[in-house]
Structure 1
Amino acid sequence: MSSRVLVGVKRVIDYAVKIRVKPDRTGVVTDGVKHSMNPFCEIAVEEAVRLKERKLVKEVIAVSCGPQQVQETIRTALAMGADRGIHVDVSGKDYENLGPLQVSKILAALAKKEDASLVVLGKQAIDDDNNQTGQMTAAMLDWAQGTFASEVVIEGDKIKVVREIDGGLETIQIKMPAVVTADLRLNTPRYATLPNIMKAKKKKIDYMKPSDLGVDLISRIEVVSVDEPPQREAGVKVESVEDLVSKLRDSGRI
């Protein structure tokens, strides 16, 4: 049995919220806006908890980087079945500049500190859509990686991962320790029940700073500006294929 699974959980603006850009174009409005766990992180938590339920792993640790509010996200993971949480405190300007490189350094340091044999992450976050943290974490640790997983099967010290690729599905086998990133079809996350939400309040959340892990948060990326997408123009109805071709030709599209 592998020992521990580390699961990254990110607090993001809820997927149902309409995003508004700040007037100074430095980012998006977050104050007073509903936040929740990144949907791909929910899938990652569910997969880790299922591995524990099948007695393939002993402990599931949920990790989140950010200010005090990320503890709500960790509590959600604990209510879903994670055993304990780790809050890596990143706030102020450091939090604004926090990117995949800094997060992957933190996750890699924690994986070593906790003696984890598996790191499960969402394939990407719905706020920045980077799809980089899993790959960077695997590189930092020099571990095998199985990205875009739609099926994960542990057999001894090996993991069979069915990956979603442009042309369909690809099946690979990797050796543990490993990093796996969850795609949409991997599972359907469970709802946290009221008894489990109450139990989660008693579960332990460790608190630490990146400096405790020997990680610097210097960002190499500068956001120049954040802009709204251009307004979509109204469409035009055409009577026939000939009219469509004619309009496309007139507008220089063909």
Structure 2
Amino acid sequence: MKLLVAVKRVIDYNVKPRVKMDGSGVDLQNVKMSMNPFDEIAVEEAVRLKEKGVATEVVAVSIGPAKAQETLRTAIAIGADRAIHIQTDETVEPLGVAKLLAKVAEEEQPDLFILGKQAIDDDSNQTGQMLAALLDWPQGTFASKVEVDGDRVGVTREVDGGLETVKLATPAVITTDLRLNEPRYPSLPNIMKAKSKPLATKTPEDYGVDIAPRLETLEVTEPPKREAGIKVDSVDDLVAKLKDMGVA
């Protein structure tokens, strides 16, 4: 079984994003970048399936600037066998990402395509679903448990009412949720070995995909600062205050 895993280079989750002075977007200059946390979970799950003997090869894929190769090397250090980098300095929207990943899937013919349910920079939560639609593959989104049984995959999904389990025929698309696993830290020897593992570089033009944006960002602003709260002496005072504010 071959597994494809999509990874994205984003602002590190410990860093507070800063908006550019002109409000045109988020300032990425001199900001620590790392692998999207949900994608780390996807890589970890793929590597675990390989360690169980379920998968024979794990291929990491990323779309982004030249520095995205660092993210791919991290995926290899965790346990991926090789990587594909689709290099572009343009901002690629979820539909463009899905189209490129679909082309990679057609070329690589994987049994499973695993990716994080969303990226923490745009929070779109769209790529996995679009990819499944483009490939006409079954999908298991928000996975908190994955069990492979031959050519069938059981995916336990986190839904509003609790948990839902679906059975998918391969090839299929799976998007990972937070409680699926806890990603490992790549060891120093594996980080060094990752530098010599195969990493192919492509461009969107190689796949014949138009990544021109379909959305226009008008303005980016920081959320308003939270105002200081007040103390009340009793429940009656609280209710009265809420009524004055138009809340109750």
1:195 to 189, 192, 195: 189
C-alpha separation between the residues in 2 aligned to 1:233 and 1:226?
Answer: 21
Matched, 1:78 2:72: no
Matched, 1:159 2:153: yes
Q: Does 1:21 align with 2:15?
A: no
Show structure 1 runs of 5+ residues with no match: none
What code does the residue aligned with 2:142 have?
Answer: F
State the Cα deviation string for residues 48-86 of structure 1 (Å, max 9, x = none). 001111111111000110111000000000000000011
Q: Which residue of 2 aligns with 1:54?
A: 52
Offset of residue 115 of structure 1: 1.2
Matched to 1:50, the amino acid is R
Distance 1:77 1:213 in 2: 23
Compute the displacement of 1:138 (Å): 0.3
1:124 partner SS: coil
**How far apart, in 2, do the equivalents of 1:220 and 1:116 lie?**
29
The answer for the alignment partner of 1:33 in structure 2 is 31
Name 2:117's counterpart in structure 1.
Answer: 123
Q: CA RMSD, aligned part only?
A: 0.7
Say whether 1:146 aligns with 2:140: yes
Question: In the comparison of the two structures, how many residue pairs are matched?
Answer: 248
Match of 1:204 among 198, 210, 234: 198
CA distance in 2, matches of 1:146, 1:137: 12
Gaps of 5+ in 2: none
Q: CA deviation at 1:192?
A: 0.2
Deviation at 1:251, TM superposition (A): 1.3
What is the aligned counterpart of 1:213 among 207, 218, 227? 207
3-state SS of the aligned residue for 1:102?
helix
1:136 aligns with 2:162: no
Percent pairwise identity: 60
- CA separation in 1, counterparts of 2:58 and 2:137? 19
Partner of residue 43 from structure 2, selected from 42, 45, 69: 45
Q: Distance in 1 between matches of 2:79 and 2:246?
A: 56
Could you tell me which residue of structure 2 aligns to residue 106 of structure 1? 100
Q: Secondary structure at the match of 1:57?
A: coil
CA–CA separation in structure 2 for the residues paired with 1:74 and 1:23:
31
Instruction: For residue 220 of structure 1, report the CA deviation from its aligned partner.
Output: 1.1
**CA displacement at 1:168 relative to structure 2:** 0.7
Q: Determine helix, strand or coil for the equivalent of 2:19.
A: coil
| Distance in 2, Cα, partners of 1:219 & 1:6 | 25
* Structure 1 counterpart of 2:224, one-letter code: P
How many angstroms does 1:125 deviate by?
A: 0.5
Deviation by residue 1:89-145 (Cα, 9 ceiling, x = unmatched): 111xxx23x111000001000011011111000000111000000000000100000
1:240 Cα shift?
Answer: 1.1
TM-score normalised over the length of structure 2: 0.99
For 1:56, the aligned partner's letter is V
Q: Counterparts of 2:245 and 2:36 in 1: how far apart (Å)?
A: 41
Question: For residues 59-70 of structure 1, what are the structure 2 equivalents within 5 Å?
Answer: 59-70=57-68
Give distance in 1, aligned partners of 2:107 and 2:244: 64
- Among 224, 227, 238, which residue is 2:218 paired with? 224
Give the distance between the partners of 2:231 and 2:159, measured in 1 at CA: 36
Per-residue deviation at 1:224?
Answer: 1.0
TM-score (norm 1): 0.96
